Amino acid sequence: MKELENNAFFWQKLDTLMFSSDCTIDRPKGSTHFKYSNLVYPVDYGFLSDTTAGSDQNPIDLFKGSIPTHIVDAIAVSADILKKDCEVKLLVGCTEEEILDILRFLNQTEFQKAILIRRGDETPIWSTND
């Protein structure tokens, strides 16, 4: 079961989405949230413009750190009781400090909490057998 939980093929699919999509940064590092001016983005924030994240048809969100890469380092999964939803956000090119800043940003209100899932590298046994 472990090889199916956080395997390399999942991350490969996310990397493919990054490489094959246009990244739009609409909230640069240091800008404030459009609704809540006390929330300041710790890194660039944007979306993959030609993707959809779920049934609401909004694009996939991402935090873009200071490392120049298109490789997805981790994902943050947030639960928001005001919006009554869960969202997944890609973390791309983030340093450890930036990852911590993003987690603080996503967890600073009582209405939203987030967890981090770091990139895994397990390969399912069926992928290595002939």
pLDDT per position as a tens digit, 51-77: 988 767 889 999 999 999 999 999 999
Closest listed residue to residue 17, CA positions, set 47, 44, 45: 47
> Which residues on neighbouring strands pair with residue 118, listed in sequence order?
74
In this predicted model, which residue has the larger pLDDT, 5 or 126? 5
1 pLDDT more than 70 = no
pLDDT, one tens digit per residue, over 20-54 is 999 999 999 999 988 888 899 999 999 999 898 87
CA distance 37 to 54: 27
User: What residues have CB less than 8 Å from 129, skipping those under 6 apart?
Assistant: none
- Is 62:45 a contact under the CB 8 Å cutoff? yes
- Do residues 78 and 114 touch, judged by C-beta distance below 8 A? yes
CA distance 23 to 74: 17
pLDDT confidence of residue 73: 94
3 has a pLDDT exceeding 70: no
- Between the CA of residue 79 and those of 96, 97, 107, 111, what are the distances in Å? 22, 23, 10, 8
Residue whose structure tokens are 């940003």: 105
> pTM to 2 decimals?
0.89
